[in-house]
């Protein structure tokens, strides 16, 4: 059975998509409510392309045509088509027949209610009352007293509402997950899927708290379900697709069976098109989703024609002798310009760290800036994310009339062709292009010191792309049902019911600036946007995965892109481009030299990526016959030297590290973190100026929104929540000042004061910015075998230092907080939706729900969402599907981001974006940028004739007196080594829900900035946090 799923621009639609596909055995077709007409839907029904319709939840009210689109017409005109309306769709069913939709006695978002029903077939095999608990997300509801005779009430609340609670108590959660030193569950990509499935059942099974809430249910039951008396039309106010709803899968199975029965009663071919038997439903109670079998890694598509190779070596057990990760970084890179350190500073929670600097011939720095926003800009396509959409391809004539795909024509009955996702079919040399063999030396580190560098590199136009097949790019989206292997052959072969992607909305054309190893830069328009450029680059710059490396390297980052994607890049993911950031919207290094640290085993790995070119067989040729990053004049000679350069760098770096471990009594100018850097108190630059108590007055931070303004924004969020425009709004602000401490000193201080598993140091040269990040939150991991993982954090409580009992109580109170659990559940369901867009059907699951993890300064409520990336979906597709991270937006995401744009009235920049790596081996790992200081240097942007950076010819000593890049043009240091003439910002905020209290939310925002404020103060010798001017 094939279902049309009408999407009301909700953030839970793809949770429904996943469950409907599993229940029906076929992928539903998905259209937004304003991109398809009643006539087109009728045509699909007559052709047998669609047998039933589900109308999704969504923001707003059914009385607003902008919110409901075609749905009212569908309900009024398609009498014989089985239809199920959910939440907003349920309200639309009532409104279509004259009933009233009114404000609920109390908005209920992310909380559970026990329901009773009258035995209607929609609730077959579902208990009434005890055991039937559902999640509600709504501020409006249908007034039962206004129902016309044609609508039958079938389901009601049975008591009040309550918070989701796991089948364990708060003290157990705190002791097993929240104790200092405990480790979060790491994904095990090669683990047996059945074992993983069995282990997660208890962890993700929500129950209703024994104490009922004091909500409106006590005063009278609220209507939760409707059925038309003569048509196969049904509605439910609650969310059957939520991870915390029990029997949601059974309800959708029952709708399927009711639809099949209704169709079989109808004469004609509709009944004949139904299969003789419908799929059995596994686990109708829930929660939905289980781990699917992981794919082989690497995929044949990735390996085919991959032009890049890897040279590597392992230095076993040397980490302790080098003073840990900090000792390795300071010895090799010393906080120089253009360095990165993806730093698992909380080594008990993150096993690997990665670092590097200006590298070899493939090294690049990519800086991207969106065009200025237009004042009148609205979210394009009402926030459609330019991802593979699941509906038939419109006819050519319709496309010409509606270039953005706003009014697709009815599908033909011919077999659908394959369709590529955004950027597939566009392979470019990708900015890692032609290299001259006889150029002067460039680069940094031991390789340059060995005298074997490459000089001026000529890049092709970053947007000069050759066409490529979906096989070579690995970015083609599954076009038809058969492409979704999670359901196997039950979906059938591609036919009239297949559903290729639509064309993506035209991207904003920003400016991409690429810097090469010799320091030369070139700017050009990015005609497909930054994410489109990354799609092309990764398609052509693929690293061949050899069995030896796959077995010998226990980590994923072997080389590739490192840096950040800023929050405003949401404009390339379907949201509005409302504000222009002062920093680049994306900044990334193409790192071809990487040092990886294994904290658990004490090993250090050195990795170097190089290009290949087989002139006889063209083995290194990328898509379209191009030789990846080694093409053009002199390419063969350059590539021939690539391996030699890579191995020379490995040898030189190995000698340097081995010499350091053999000389523990080296001079104080060297880093020996075992006795100094790793063990000393809060790090200070030797010339950092006065100690605490000095006469230098602190430079205070200023809140971008005063206390009064921030409280007013919280009130505005409450108004939006009550109006049904959002379920949760992640409101933020920024603290800024025109000064910053010495950046290396700040980062040393921060990683000691607030160690975090997804911390990072990023330094992008004299023009900056410099980023000191101590994030505890993973945005999205793309692991081997296609495993995707998000670990959203929602829920924060301050640690109680020096009082273990009070600290445990704080963790327990966080675990039991109804407000915090509601916040967390809403984001978990949002992340399930985002992963559901790109994952195999049935694979999205929640192995960890609302766990408590404790960090140096706060307890956090953390959940884990996983799924298996479906075949043909690229890394960039996955990132685009989930960006920005839902824990920094709220839900529904697109409508809520518009609310945020209006209230905050400023760009977020780097904050709320993500930092991490996107590997050339088809893996990635990105954090959420929180607990982060951004230092913008007073320097002009680089020009096309910028002076090449002088290469480092020897290993840098620890904490040099004047760190390269620490002072930009126009900046000065005062007596305390404080940088003036720059701009430093710290973002902070929190999720606003209906239970939020004004003062508590304001204080939570301040709490989240506290660790950074203290780190800044200590780095400047103040002895405590820097003050903040709130008004």
Residue with the larger pLDDT of the pair 918 and 816: 918
Q: What is the pTM of this model?
A: 0.81
Beta strand pairing status for 728-740 and 890-891?
A: antiparallel
Instruction: Check whether 186 has a pLDDT greater than 70.
Output: no
Q: 50 with 717: CB under 8 angstroms?
A: no
Any idea which of 374-383, 424-433, 558-567 has the lowest mean pLDDT? 424-433
pLDDT at 987: 98
Q: 150 with 229: CB under 8 angstroms?
A: yes
CA nearest to 935, candidates 894, 983, 901: 983
Question: How far is Cα 55 from Cα 51, in angstroms, rounded to an integer?
Answer: 14
User: What does residue 123 show for φ and ψ, rounded to 5 degrees?
Assistant: -115, 25
Burial class (CB in 10 A: 0-12, 13-18, 19+), 407: middle
CA nearest to 679, candidates 320, 959, 351: 320
Q: 434 with 580: CB under 8 angstroms?
A: no
What domains are there in the chain, each with its CATH number?
Answer: 3-177+206-272 (3.40.50.880), 701-763+779-917+973-1029 (3.60.120.10)
Q: What angle do CA 424, 428, 433 make, to 5 degrees?
A: 155
Per-residue pLDDT band at 166 (split at 50, 70, 90): low
Half-sphere exposure of 69 (CA within 13 A, CB side): 25
The pLDDT > 70 percentage for the chain reads 71
pLDDT at 86: 99
Question: How far is Cα 264 from Cα 277, in angstroms, rounded to an integer?
Answer: 12
* DSSP of 992-1010: E-TT--HHHHHHHHHHHHH
Instruction: Check whether 574 has a pLDDT greater than 50.
Output: yes
CA nearest to 582, candidates 984, 928, 907, 940: 907
492-510 tens-digit pLDDT:
222 333 332 333 456 689 9
116-158 tens-digit pLDDT:
999 999 999 999 999 999 999 999 999 999 999 999 999 999 9
| Mean of pLDDT over the chain | 79
Burial class (CB in 10 A: 0-12, 13-18, 19+), 195: exposed
Instruction: Check whether 238 has a pLDDT greater than 80.
Output: yes
**E strands, 503-592, in order:** 510-515, 521-526, 560-565, 586-591
Beta strand pairing status for 787-791 and 151-162?
A: unpaired
Q: What is the dihedral of CA 987, 988, 994, 999, to 10 degrees?
A: -130
**E strands, 143-195, in order:** 151-162, 164-166
The conformational region for residue 9 under phi > 0 = left, psi -120 to 50 = alpha, else beta, is: left
First to last CA, the chain: 60
CA distances from 97 to 151, 228, 234, 454, 818 (A): 8, 10, 12, 74, 36
Question: How far is Cα 363 from Cα 541, in angstroms, rounded to an integer?
Answer: 12
CA distances from 570 to 462, 832, 879, 919 (A): 21, 19, 11, 21
Give me 655's structure tokens: 């000698």
What are the beta bridge partners of residue 54? 5, 84
CA distances from 843 to 184, 481, 783, 952, 1026 (A): 21, 16, 15, 48, 47
Question: How far is Cα 957 from Cα 972, in angstroms, rounded to an integer?
Answer: 23
- Going 92 to 247 to 252 to 384, the CA torsion angle's sign is positive
Beta strand pairing status for 586-591 and 364-369?
A: antiparallel
Residue with the larger pLDDT of the pair 1020 and 637: 1020
pLDDT at 553: 98
Tell me the three state secondary structure of residue 68. helix
Q: What is the CA radius of gyration of the chain?
A: 28
Residue with tokens 């039962």: 144
DSSP run (H or E) holding 808:
helix 804-816
Instruction: Check whether 290 has a pLDDT greater than 50.
Output: yes
889-931 tens-digit pLDDT:
999 999 999 999 999 999 999 999 999 999 999 999 999 999 9
Q: 40 with 57: CB under 8 angstroms?
A: no
User: What does residue 108 show for φ and ψ, rounded to 5 degrees?
Assistant: -125, 110
The distance from CA 592 to its chain's CA centroid, rounded to whole angstroms, is: 24
Active site (catalytic) residues: 87, 239, 241
CA distances from 370 to 504, 765, 906 (A): 18, 20, 15
CA distances from 694 to 582, 744, 1014, 1020 (A): 34, 21, 17, 10
513-544 tens-digit pLDDT:
999 999 999 999 999 999 999 999 999 999 99
């Amino acid at each position: 059975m094939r279902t049309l799923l009408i999407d009301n621009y909700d953030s839970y639609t793809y949770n429904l998509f996943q469950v409907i596909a599993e229940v029906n055995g076929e992928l539903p077709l998905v259209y937004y409510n304003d991109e398809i007409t009643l006539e087109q839907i009728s045509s699909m029904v007559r052709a047998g392309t669609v047998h039933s319709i589900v109308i999704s939840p969504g923001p707003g009210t059914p009385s607003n045509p902008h919110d409901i689109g075609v749905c009212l017409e569908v309900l009024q005109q398609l009498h014989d088509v089985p239809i199920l309306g959910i939440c907003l769709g349920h309200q639309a069913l009532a409104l279509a027949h004259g009933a009233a939709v009114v404000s609920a006695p109390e908005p209920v978002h992310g909380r559970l209610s026990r329901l009773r029903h009258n035995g209607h077939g929609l609730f077959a095999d579902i208990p009434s009352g005890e055991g039937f608990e559902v999640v509600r997300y709504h501020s409006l509801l249908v007034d039962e007293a206004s129902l016309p005779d044609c609508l039958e009430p079938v389901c009601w609340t049975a008591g009040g509402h309550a918070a989701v609670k796991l089948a364990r108590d708060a003290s157990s959660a705190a002791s097993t997950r929240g104790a200092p030193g405990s480790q979060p569950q790491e994904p095990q990509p090669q683990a047996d899927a059945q074992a993983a499935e069995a282990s997660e059942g208890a962890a993700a099974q929500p129950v209703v708290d024994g104490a009922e809430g004091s909500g409106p249910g006590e005063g009278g039951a609220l209507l939760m379900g409707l059925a038309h008396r003569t048509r196969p039309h049904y509605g439910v106010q609650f969310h059957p697709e939520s991870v915390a709803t029990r029997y949601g899968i059974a309800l959708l199975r029952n709708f399927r069976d009711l639809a099949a029965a209704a169709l079989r009663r109808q004469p004609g071919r509709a009944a004949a098109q139904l299969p003789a038997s419908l799929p059995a439903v596994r686990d109708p109670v829930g929660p939905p989703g289980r781990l699917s079998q992981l794919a082989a890694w690497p995929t044949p598509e990735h390996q085919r024609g991959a032009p890049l190779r890897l040279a590597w070596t392992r230095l076993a057990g040397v980490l302790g002798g080098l003073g840990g990760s900090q000792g390795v970084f300071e010895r090799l890179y010393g906080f120089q310009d253009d360095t990165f350190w993806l730093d698992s500073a909380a080594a008990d929670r993150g096993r690997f760290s990665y670092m590097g600097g200006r590298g070899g011939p493939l090294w690049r720095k990519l800086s991207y800036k969106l065009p200025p926003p237009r004042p009148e800009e609205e979210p394009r396509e009402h926030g459609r994310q330019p991802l593979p959409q699941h509906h038939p391809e419109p006819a050519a004539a319709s496309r010409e009339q509606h270039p953005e795909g706003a009014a697709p024509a009815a599908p033909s009955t011919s077999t659908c062709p394959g369709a590529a996702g955004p950027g597939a079919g566009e392979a470019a040399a990708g900015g890692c292009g032609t290299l001259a063999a006889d150029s002067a030396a460039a680069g940094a580190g031991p390789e340059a010191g060995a005298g074997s560098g490459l000089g001026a590199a000529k890049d092709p136009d970053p947007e000069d792309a050759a066409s490529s097949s979906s096989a070579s790019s690995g970015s083609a989206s599954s076009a038809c049902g058969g492409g979704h292997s999670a359901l196997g052959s039950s979906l059938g072969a591609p036919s009239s019911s297949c559903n290729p992607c639509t064309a993506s909305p035209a991207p904003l054309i920003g400016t991409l600036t690429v810097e090469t190893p010799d320091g030369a830069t070139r700017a050009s328009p990015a005609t497909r946007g930054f994410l489109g450029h990354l799609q092309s680059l990764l398609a052509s710059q693929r690293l061949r995965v050899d069995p030896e490396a796959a077995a010998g390297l226990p980590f994923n980052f072997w080389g590739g892109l490192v840096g950040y994607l800023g929050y405003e890049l949401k404009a390339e993911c379907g949201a509005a481009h409302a504000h222009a950031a002062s920093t680049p919207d994306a900044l990334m290094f193409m790192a071809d030299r990487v040092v990886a640290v294994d904290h658990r085993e004490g090993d250090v790995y050195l990795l170097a990526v190089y290009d290949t070119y087989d002139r006889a067989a063209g083995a290194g040729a990328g898509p379209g016959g191009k030789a990846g990053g080694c093409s053009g004049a002199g390419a063969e000679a350059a590539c021939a030297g690539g391996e030699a350069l890579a191995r020379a760098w490995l040898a030189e770096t190995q000698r340097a590290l081995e010499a350091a471990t053999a000389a523990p009594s080296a001079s104080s100018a060297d880093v020996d973190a075992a006795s100094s850097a790793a063990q000393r108190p809060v790090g200070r630059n030797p010339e950092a100026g006065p100690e605490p108590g000095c006469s230098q007055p602190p430079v205070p931070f200023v809140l971008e929104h005063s206390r009064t303004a921030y409280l007013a924004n919280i009130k505005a969020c409450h108004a939006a929540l009550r109006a049904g425009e959002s379920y949760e709004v992640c409101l933020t602000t920024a603290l800024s000042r025109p000064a910053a401490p010495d950046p290396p000193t700040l980062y040393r201080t921060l990683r000691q004061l607030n160690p975090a598993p997804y911390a990072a140091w990023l330094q992008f040269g004299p023009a900056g910015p410099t980023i000191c990040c101590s994030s505890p939150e993973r945005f999205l991991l793309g692991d081997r075998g296609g495993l995707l993982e998000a670990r959203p954090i929602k829920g924060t409580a301050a640690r109680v230092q020096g009082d273990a009992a009070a600290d445990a109580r704080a963790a327990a109170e966080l675990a039991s907080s109804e407000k915090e659990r509601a916040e967390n559940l809403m984001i978990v369901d949002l992340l399930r939706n985002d992963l559901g867009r790109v994952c195999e059907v049935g694979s999205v699951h929640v192995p960890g729900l609302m766990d408590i993890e404790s960090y140096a300064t706060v307890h956090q409520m953390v959940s884990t969402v996983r799924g298996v990336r479906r075949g043909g979906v690229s890394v960039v597709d996955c990132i685009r599907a989930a960006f920005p991270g839902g824990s920094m937006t709220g839900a529904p995401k697109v409508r809520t981001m518009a609310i945020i744009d209006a209230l905050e009235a400023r760009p977020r920049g780097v904050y709320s974006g993500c930092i991490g790596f996107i590997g050339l081996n088809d893996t990635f790992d990105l954090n959420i940028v929180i607990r982060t200081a951004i230092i913008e240097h007073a320097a002009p942007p680089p020009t096309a004739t910028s002076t090449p950076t002088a290469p480092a010819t020897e290993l840098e000593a620890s904490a040099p007196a004047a760190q390269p890049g620490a002072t930009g043009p126009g900046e000065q240091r005062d007596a305390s080594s404080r940088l003036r003439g720059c701009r430093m910002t710290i973002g902070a905020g929190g999720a606003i829900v209906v239970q939020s209290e004004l003062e508590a939310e304001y204080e939570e925002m301040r709490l989240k900035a506290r660790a950074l404020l203290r780190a800044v103060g200590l780095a400047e010798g103040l002895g405590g946090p820097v003050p903040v001017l709130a008004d």
